[in-house]
Amino acid sequence: MLGLTAGVMGSLVGGLMLGIGLGLVVNNVHAGWVLVLPAAPAGGALGYLLARRLARQLGE
């Protein structure tokens, strides 16, 4: 269950940041790039941390 959660949470966080950031950029608010540029690394990092937690639980 935690493996599925890791993938879904990473995708949701990255997609939400990307969507909101691109919406701001399209409306000529250049501060939206602050959300767009780190969207993929932030989503991937969250998924990675949750996957490490799963691996630690399986090791016990």
Joined together, the tokens standing for residue 16 give 């939400």
Number of neighbouring beta carbons within 10 Å of residue 43? 21
Q: Give me the helix-helix angle, 2-26 and 39-59, nearest 10°.
A: 170
pLDDT 10s digit of each residue in the chain, 60 long?
666 777 888 889 899 999 999 999 999 999 999 999 999 899 888 888 888 888 888 877
The whole-angstrom separation of Cα 20 and Cα 1 is 28
Q: How many CA atoms lie within 13 A of 34 on its CB side?
A: 3
Q: What are phi and psi of 32, to 5 degrees?
A: -65, -25
